[in-house]
Chain A
Amino acid sequence: MADFLLEIGLEEVPARMIAGAEAELGRRVCGLLTRERLLGTKRKLTTYSTPRRLAVLVEGVSPRQADTEEHLTGPSWKVAFKDGAPTAAAEAFAKKAGVAVTALKKVTNAKGEYVGATVKRPGRGAAELLAAELPKEVLGLYWAKNMYWRAGKPERFVRPVRWVIALLGSKVVPLEIAGIAAGKQSRGHRVLHSGKPVLLAKARDYSEALRKAFVVVDVAERRHSIRKALDAATRTVPDARWREDEALIETVVHLTEWPTVVLGDFEPEYLALPEEVLVTVMRDHQKYFAVEGADGKLAPHFLAVLNTEVDDEGRAIIRHGNARVLRARFKDARFFWDFDQKTPLAARVESLKAVTFQKELGSYHWKTEANLRLAREYASWYAIHASATCDRDLCRIVETAVQLAKTDLTTELVKEFTELQGVVGGVYALAQGLGERVAEAIYWQYRPANTEDRIPPTVEGQLLGLADRVQTIAAMFSIGNAPTGSKDPFALRRAANGVIKILAESQLPLDLIRLIRPAVNEAENCSQAKLEQDVRAFFKERLHFYLKDVRGFAYDVVNAVLAADADDVRDAIARAEALTAVRGSEDFRAISAAFKRIKNILRQAEEKQFAIGSAEDVRLSVEAWQFSAAAAALAPEVARLRQQRAYVEALALIATLRPDVDAFFDKVMVLDPDPAIRGAHLALIDEVLRGFSGIADFSEIVTA
């Protein structure tokens, strides 16, 4: 068994693409070796990557494929040999199989005696196979963005390939990738090991040889050492901690071959800027980690992850350089902040007319007006129906917040840091004395940003977030911009997920139809009835997604619950919880099966155009009568429990119908030939179905 090493040397690969490519290369190499029967029983596959290389080391590769034998069967023995001498048929078969006529044997099977030949196929060498097959695998790697670099455009790849190592044990596999012949020379760190080749004697030397050339090829090791270095650098500041940021860790892991860390400072005066601005500059623009004190507040330091190791002089220079850049960025931010304060948010409403929301619809000024009408509607509904006493300021605060919500789009700070829209508006509102509640509503308007994110903590913020999103969705649908398949260019699914999440996790007394209808009523130049239907279906689909994928309910539970009602989000959750709790019980499974049967029978009846009759004046069997009586007795109590949202109790009660249901289906022919009796039966089961499906459509439950 031998070790096989493949290293693709590249110009710096985008950090965001490296992890995926490393894993894919591992899969491809492993797949190829498996396919070609080159993997031994004891094998180990390790993948490596840095910005300048992707590598795979496979231990336990067979130097060549095992030989194989194939048994071929030819014409019948009698045809092939006459009087012991081979005929033309034998000659032809031997030729086809590639063996001498003398090597033909007699094989006997169920049909009789035939001519057989054993063909030996020698296995091919691993080096030969890899040389032929591996380049295709490498060039087949998926990249989010590719480029050409050689004249004539023979191949596309993420960045130019600059060297290739392919070693089987200590021998070079003679392959060529993108015009580069494989060798045994790698390259070390650009600066710390510049110009000097790294010669590999054998495959297994890989990671140690590169380490000597100032390259840590193991990703996990770099991740660990960066975390350690961040800890160590932060310890020099009393009581300080660096802010955990996994995404940023991954980025710097894939930006470095030999990571070290420096701690730098900035002038404490910049701490007067909003923390969000400081963190955004550090994290998104500079890839620095923020440092906080024991109180959790930002401290005037930053941590930069370097791709080099330097002496004290170098550290001082690098620390100084990074601090200089950060200072300039903060200075810019403060300049924007000061400049923006000259025009308060209230004075920016008019200028929203120049900011397009959507070409066919209108400006953000138009959108603000539309949001306002919706928010007013929602707020007054809330004021009337909220279980908690509603304070009198609410409507006024919602109005102000909605009116100013989009004005930060005209500020310099948001133009510079677009990811801070909403946040900037909120911070400005507070600084401009608009009050904490207005500020908070504006601040949180784009939250939740995803299904894991938090919803706005205040009612005003929740109402603003709902109005903004519902308006967008209805308006976009009205001009034919609904999402299709994987295409959702206006992120309407995310907007709807936000609506569902706010409804699910707040205490707002609003259901989807109450949110949707006033938005739909604003639509022009389209059928509002059709629009309402589409938007409701869209929200129902999002609610389905939320219950199933975010809350983890079983799909049949979700189907059952949403078949009963898909407007009240929190109610749907409560019903799904109750249904999940009882669905395992024996009685309930029987009830579910019975409901499925009821539905089928009613469908059949409809197909055959059997009329639903009435139980009056019909002499029913005992079982039918008992079932009817039991259902009638249960109905008011189930309705009462449903009213109180005591769903588990209601469902448990429905499950007590089981003996009567079972007896009914056991003994009674529902579709009786007598139309009067049949009509009465149909009336009975129809009423049961309608009467007890308000919590969930049990027939959707999968019982098998």
Chain B
Amino acid sequence: MPSSTVSSSAVVLPAKPAALTFQELLFRLQGFWAERGCVLQQPYDVEVGAGTMAPETFLRVLGPKPYKVGYAQPSRRPADGRYGENPNRLFRHTQFQLILKPPPVNVQELYLESLEAIGIDLSKHDLKFEEDNWEGPTVGAWGVGWQVMMDGMEITQFTYFQQCGGLDLDPICAELTYGLERLAAFMQDVDSVYDVVWAHDPETGAAVTYGDVRLSEELQYSVYNFEDADVDRLWAHFNSYEAEAQALLDRWKAIQENEKATAVEKRRFPIMSTYELALKCSNLFNLLDARGAISVTERVGMIGRIRNLAVGVAKAYVAQQNGAASSS
């Protein structure tokens, strides 16, 4: 670890125990929350802009059934790519996403314990919960909450979800989103995310950095997202995914309206797949946006189209769950 000095006071920072590696950070968070009853899920395998959009959040927060889940979610934001040249901005970053439904009364205290669990001594840091409300217009979701600030840096987004897919939630849930890269950079005290140690070889002690693992990926995706992605084809893909999602939603509607539709027919209906198609649209929208192909006027319309799909899926999901609950 580099030792750092602060000029104005000339106090030398104490030597501290080696901070967690990037992967250890994830292990600890997973371990901590697993011990508190969370299901640990694997990252979702369709492109998403945030952990919120993975079905483990988007669908599970709907309806009355309690659920606790945690997962790391690689999150793609094409417009945020910087060709690997900016030390703090990434096309793809990793969120550790946690859903507590319903939120326990001591959810904030649990969260603080999780910080202690990853080696943050709260008595040596400044911690604030500052208002930050979240809204995801493409998925018809919003909530109120905070950005948790540690020594002037946002380390977690803490949201009490109120609505999702255009539906009021009851019970509501708490969503905690730890930004793993910035948390690791903060704890390892490095100025560039690419210098974060991802792993140590236990035999040689050699470090594999975040840059070793991901730098070329950031560069290449930036090139594609900003320069190569074919706008016309992106539009075509978007329209095609949207059409398929809409066709499925229409079929669901027909089943719903058909009095003779059986419980099995309803249970078999592929809402998850419909949702994936909506997610595809969302990612294509982000790509088009990065290419500068969407005017401000069109943007509103596009958001509305994706939102329509998301709202349709949310309603269908709730109806399907209700059906399952009443038939069992």
Instruction: Tell me the A residues contacting B by CB distance below 8 Å.
Output: 11-12, 14-16, 51, 145-153, 159-160, 162, 190-192, 194, 236-237, 255-256, 263-265, 286, 288, 301, 304, 306-308, 310-328, 331-332, 335, 354-356, 359
Contact = CB atoms under 8 A, between A and B. Distances in A.
B262 interface: no
B295 A354 contact: yes
B186 A321 contact: yes
Contacts of A147: 143-144, 160, 162, 172
B297 A325 contact: no
Nearest to A191: B122
A11 B13 contact: no
B129 A145 contact: no
A265 B7 contact: yes
Given A162-B105, A265-B8, A314-B123, A255 B13 contact: no
B189 interface: yes
Closest 8 CB pairs of A and B: A321-B151, A14-B131, A356-B296, A12-B129, A322-B152, A314-B124, A316-B11, A151-B171
Contact of A15 (B130, B133, B143, B150): B130
Contact of A356 (B85, B102, B297): B297
Nearest to B144: A147
Given A11-B129, A191-B122, A148 B170 contact: yes
* Secondary structure type dominating chain A contacts: mixed
A404 to B, nearest CB: 20
A581 B225 CA distance: 69
Contacts of A149: 103, 160, 172
B36 interface: no
Interface in B61-109: 85-89, 102-103, 105, 108
- Most A CB atoms within 10 A — which of B131, B143, B146, B160? B131
B151 A328 contact: no
B7 to A, nearest CB: 5
Contacts of B7: 265
B118 to A, nearest CB: 15
B151 A255 contact: no
Contacts of A256: 128
Contacts of B9: 315-316, 319
A292 to B, nearest CB: 16
Contacts of B127: 190-191, 307-308
Contacts of B103: 149
Contacts of A324: 151, 153, 186, 189, 191
A148 B151 CA distance: 30
B105 A317 contact: no
B145 to A, nearest CB: 9
B60 to A, nearest CB: 16
Contact of A313 (B124, B150, B292): B124
Given A147-B144, A317-B14, 18 more contacts: A11-B108, A11-B129, A149-B103, A149-B172, A151-B170, A194-B122, A236-B8, A237-B8, A255-B128, A255-B130, A301-B8, A307-B126, A310-B125, A313-B11, A316-B13, A317-B13, A319-B8, A328-B191
Contacts of B88: 328, 331-332
Contacts of B122: 191, 194
B6 interface: yes
B126 A318 contact: yes
A505 B208 CA distance: 64
B11 A15 contact: no
